[in-house]
Amino acid sequence: MSTFVLIHGGWVGGWSWHKVVPLLEKQGHTVVAPDLPSHGRDKTPTATVSLQSYVDSVCRTVDAQAEPVVAVGHSMSGAVITQAAEYRPDKIRLLVYFSAFLPRNGESVFQIVQRDPQTLGPQHMIISEDHSWAMIKEELLKDMAFADCSDEDIALAKALLVPQPIAPLATPVTTTEASFGRVPRVYIEALEDRALFPSLQKEMYTALPCQKIISMHTSHFGIFSAPGEFARHLMSL
C-alpha cells in the first residue's frame, strides 16, 4: 500500500480530490489532501501567501507521514511539489503531475504560461487592485477547465472557488539534480485541456523528461470527470 499526498491546483482546495480520495482509500491506501494556505478552509490572507508558504505546508504534510509518499500535483501545484521535492527528496518517492506545471530550475508558472497564449493566463482573469490575487472570469470556467464535467460538478466548483494568490505563480522554483533531480517523475496529460493546453504539457515533460507519460482524454478537471480512471493510473504506479 502507498501513502498519497494530493496537492490541489489554483482557486480550489483539498476538496477538489473528493472523488479520488475514497477510491484510493477503498483499496487500502493512505490519502492526505490538504488545503494550501488561503485555499479551502485555510483562511490565511492572500496578500501574505508565497510559493514558500505553499511549499512549507506541503513539507509539513510530507514530514507527518510514516513512509515516503507519492506526491501528486494538479495544475499550478506542479511547481509546488517540484520545490517540495528539492527540500524533501528522501520523503517523496514519486512525483506525479496531472495536467500540471513542470518547471525547470529558475522557471515560474507565469513564465511558462507566457510561452503559450492559449493557456490560462492573466488575460482570462480578474486581478485585484493590489495585484495580490486573481479570479478566473466566471464565463470562461466551463469551457477552459470543466468542459467534460457535470453541471453539479461545475456548480460545486463555482460555490467553493477562492481567490488565487498571485505571488506563488510569479516565483521561480530553485532545484538541483542532486535533490529534485533524483526523485522519479510521472506525467499524466489531459488531452482535452483548454486551461493548460496539451501542447504546453508536452513541451514541459519533453524539456524535463519523466519516467512515464500517461494520457487521459479529459479536461483540466479530469479528477472530476474521470476519477476512477485517474485513481487506477495512480495505483498502477
- Which tens digits make up the pLDDT trace of 28-64? 999 999 999 999 999 999 999 999 999 999 999 999 9
Note the pLDDT tens digit of each residue in 170-180.
Answer: 999 999 999 99
Write phi, then psi, for 216 (nearest 5 degrees).
Answer: -125, 135
Contact between 58 and 84 under an 8 Å Cβ cutoff? The reply is yes
How far lies 24's CA from each of 18, 32, 94, 154, in Å? Answer: 11, 11, 16, 23
Question: Are the C-beta atoms of residues 102 and 205 closer than 8 Å to each other?
Answer: yes
pTM over 0.95: yes
Cell of 47: 496578500
Dihedral sign for Cα 85, 5, 54, 129, please: positive
Which pLDDT value is given to residue 42? Answer: 96
Single out the residue of 163, 164, 147 nearest to residue 220, CA to CA: 147
- Residues β-bridged to residue 4: 31, 70
Phi (first) and psi of residue 155, to 5 degrees: -65, -40
CA 193/CA 143 separation, integer angstroms: 9
Q: Which domains does the chain have, with CATH numbers?
A: 3-236 (3.40.50.1820)
- Please answer whether residues 27 and 235 qualify as being in contact, where contact means their C-beta atoms are separated by less than 8 angstroms: yes
Contact in structure between 232 and 27 (CB atoms under 8 Å): no
Interatomic CA distance for residues 233 and 145, integer angstroms = 21
pLDDT computed for residue 130 by the predictor: 92
pLDDT in tens, the chain (237 residues): 999 999 999 999 999 999 999 999 999 999 999 999 999 999 999 999 999 999 999 999 999 999 999 999 999 999 999 999 999 999 999 999 999 999 999 999 999 999 987 787 677 889 999 999 999 888 888 999 999 999 999 999 999 999 999 999 999 999 999 999 999 999 999 999 999 999 999 999 999 999 999 999 999 999 999 999 999 999 999
Q: Is the distance from CB of 144 to CB of 124 less than 8 angstroms?
A: yes
DSSP summary character for residue 18: T
Looking at residue 13, its pLDDT comes to 98
| pLDDT at residue number 171 | 98
Eight-class DSSP state of 139: G
Count of residues in the chain: 237
Whether residue 12 contacts residue 45, with contact meaning beta carbons closer than 8 Å, is answered with no
**Distance (Å, whole) CA 34 – CA 218:** 24
Q: What is the pLDDT of residue 119?
A: 80
